[in-house]
């Protein structure tokens, strides 16, 4: 430790010891996230984020139904209190486990790591993590995912990418959901895409409706490509 002047930069009054550090507050989370990656080398893990009610669970249900014969899929679903979303997924035959965060506004890597002991992932190709509905806090927590996908419903307004930039900055794909409601709400897909690309020029965009099925094929194709890429990384010979 070094003895330095007090912060006021005036003459030293008494003495204050001062320790310069770089204690990263997300160190533990990031460490566990790496452990999750090591543990799931051949499963594509997707962290699905959005505000509450943007249609994450409904989209997982549709995805499970459509890809049942082509992919083995499992879901970890985080909610502050109830088991309800996992039940909704199991009803359509999806292997789902609820993570009750006990009121917390985001999932942390440690919760995923522990959950992995309680879900059978034998033969699973694709693991979704449905994050807690919140565009702020989940953005800072790496869950060991390969990709992050953010849903933005047409009913939420098109100013979200600039209000929650970190989420869009760290997402591979923005899904504009509830497209069936676009005719009824003031929401410009062109504006939202422009704003999202100012934050993240590489972000992919899909417009979907789980109700009418619009865009769901494109979404499923996107998933199949990403799953193949993940597996390809493993099977491709070293360059």
Partner 1 sequence: MHEISLVRTILRTLEDEFPADMDRVRGIYLKAGLLANVQPILMQNAFQAVVADEPRYQQTSLHVEVLPILIRCDDCGKTTQVQQYRFICTCGKPSRNVIQGEELLISKVEFDD
Ligand X SMILES: Nc1nc2c(ncn2[C@@H]2O[C@H](COP(=O)(O)OP(=O)(O)O)[C@@H](O)[C@H]2O)c(=O)[nH]1
* Binding stretches for ligand X (CB under 6 A): 50, 52-58, 133, 177-178, 180-181, 209-211
- Copy the structure tokens of residue 131: 């994050």
Is residue 70 within the footprint of partner 1 (CB under 8 A)? no
Residue 177: which of 216, 204, 145 has the closest Cα? Answer: 216
237 binds, among Mg ion, partner 1, ligand X, none (CB under 5 to 8 A by kind): none
Rounded least distance, CB 23 to partner 1, Å:
4
Distant-in-sequence, close-in-space partners of 158: CB < 8 Å, separation ≥ 6:
186, 187, 188, 189, 191, 192, 195
The CA-atom distances, in angstroms, between 146 and each of 210, 237, 238 are 24, 21, 20
Query: Across the strands, what pairs with 60?
Result: none
Residue 44: which of 150, 138, 121 has the closest Cα? Answer: 121
The CA-atom distances, in angstroms, between 76 and each of 97, 116, 225 are 5, 9, 21
Binding mask 130-169 for partner 1 (x = CB under 8 A): ----x-xx-xx--------------------xx--xx--x
106 binds, among ligand X, partner 1, Mg ion, none (CB under 5 to 8 A by kind): partner 1
Give 83 or 204: the residue with its C-beta nearer to Mg ion: 83
Give 53 or 165: the residue with its C-beta nearer to ligand X: 53
In this structure, are residues 86 and 77 in contact, taking their beta carbons and an 8 Å threshold? Answer: yes
Q: Return the residues of window 32-91 that contact Mg ion according to CB under 5 A.
A: 56-57, 85
Question: By CB under 8 A, which span of 85-93, 123-131, 194-202, 221-229 interacts with partner 1?
Answer: 194-202
152/161 Cα distance (integer angstroms): 9
The site that binds partner 1 (CB under 8 A) totals a number of residues, namely: 35
Q: Which of 179, 199, 206, 208 binds partner 1 (CB under 8 A)?
A: 199
Residues that bind partner 1 (CB under 8 A): 1, 6-7, 14-26, 104-106, 134, 136-137, 139-140, 161-162, 165-166, 169, 197-202
């Amino acid at each position: 430790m070094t003895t330095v002047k007090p912060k006021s930069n005036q003459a030293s009054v008494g003495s204050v010891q001062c320790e310069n550090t770089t204690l990263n507050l997300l160190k533990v989370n990031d460490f566990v996230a790496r452990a999750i990656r090591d543990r799931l080398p051949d499963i594509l893990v997707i962290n699905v984020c959005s505000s509450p009610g943007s249609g994450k669970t409904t989209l997982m249900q549709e995805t499970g139904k459509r890809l049942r014969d082509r992919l083995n899929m499992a879901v970890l679903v985080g909610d502050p209190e109830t088991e309800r979303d996992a039940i909704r997924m199991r009803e359509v035959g999806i292997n789902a486990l609820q993570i009750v965060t006990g009121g917390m506004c985001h999932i942390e890597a440690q919760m995923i790591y522990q959950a992995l002991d309680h879900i059978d992932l034998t033969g699973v190709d694709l693991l979704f993590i449905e994050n807690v509905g919140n565009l702020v806090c989940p953005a800072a927590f790496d869950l060991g995912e390969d990709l992050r996908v953010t849903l933005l419903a047409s009913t939420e307004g098109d100013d979200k990418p600039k209000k929650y930039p970190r989420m869009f900055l760290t997402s591979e794909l923005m899904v504009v959901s509830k497209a069936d409601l676009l005719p009824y709400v003031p929401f410009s897909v062109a504006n939202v895409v422009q704003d999202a690309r100012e934050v993240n020029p590489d972000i992919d965009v899909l417009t979907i409706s789980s109700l009418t099925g619009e865009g769901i094929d494109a979404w499923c194709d996107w998933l199949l490509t990403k799953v193949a890429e993940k597996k390809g990384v493993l099977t491709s010979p070293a360059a």
